[in-house]
Amino acid sequence: MKLGVFGGTFDPPHLGHLILAAEAQNQLELERVLFVLTPAPPHKAGLAITSLEQRLALLQAALEEAPGFEISRVDIDRQPPHYAVDTVRLLRQAYPGAKLTYLMGGDSLMDLPLWRHPSEFVQACDTIGVMRRPGDRVSLLALEEQIPGLALKTQFIRVPLLEISSSEIRQRIREGKPVRYFLPPAVYRLILSERLYAT
């Protein structure tokens, strides 16, 4: 079984997330993509994040009509801190024999040397799918010098240029700007009904 691992805070999940996951699934021939909702990412310590319960409800709404995508509770059901190296190890135990592809953006790949135990993280993954955007300046050669073995495991995914981010959506809602077509309809309706991000 070939599984993609797509981690994030998903605050909120938007169409860009789904398009990126779909491109990864298609190009890397993944049977399923596991959306790993991170309750409190270490790199966002001190930042305001919507409650886990609300983000989980939004992600469930986003994936309700998305075959091949599912939510993993691997980080939800364990104590923090939530480091990717531990997440992959736990998924390895949960899906013995599966080929795990960790999905990330080009910016995350550039920051990988700053992650917790980056060499062990790379060893724990079968492959690393990097969703590269036009203009990314990713030097695998330089990264390979810091994390040996990374280049062999990295596969680049071609994705359309989408200038959509969760932070921009939150800002637009606070400013009363339209976001309807940035979001899956069920997510948009839930944000409206719960009055999320309005203040």
The separation between CA 83 and the C-alpha centre of its own chain, rounded to angstroms, equals 13
Q: In what order do the strands lie in the sheet with 99-105?
A: 69-72, 32-37, 2-8, 99-105, 127-132, 154-158
**Nearest 5 degrees, angle CA 141-CA 144-CA 146?**
120
State residue 24's pLDDT score. Answer: 96
State residue 134's pLDDT score. Answer: 66
Query: What's the rounded Cα separation, in Å, for the pair 90 and 106?
Result: 24
Q: Please state the length of the chain.
A: 199
State residue 160's pLDDT score. Answer: 82
State residue 161's pLDDT score. Answer: 74
State residue 45's pLDDT score. Answer: 61
Query: E strand or H helix at 94, and its extent?
Result: helix 84-94
Kindly list the averaged pLDDT for each block of 10 residues, start to end, along the chain of length 199.
Answer: 96 95 96 95 73 97 95 95 95 97 91 95 97 76 94 92 88 96 97 94
State residue 47's pLDDT score. Answer: 74
State residue 169's pLDDT score. Answer: 97
Number of H helices and E strands in the chain, helices first, is 9, 6
Query: What's the rounded Cα separation, in Å, for the pair 113 and 103?
Result: 16
Its pTM stands at 0.93
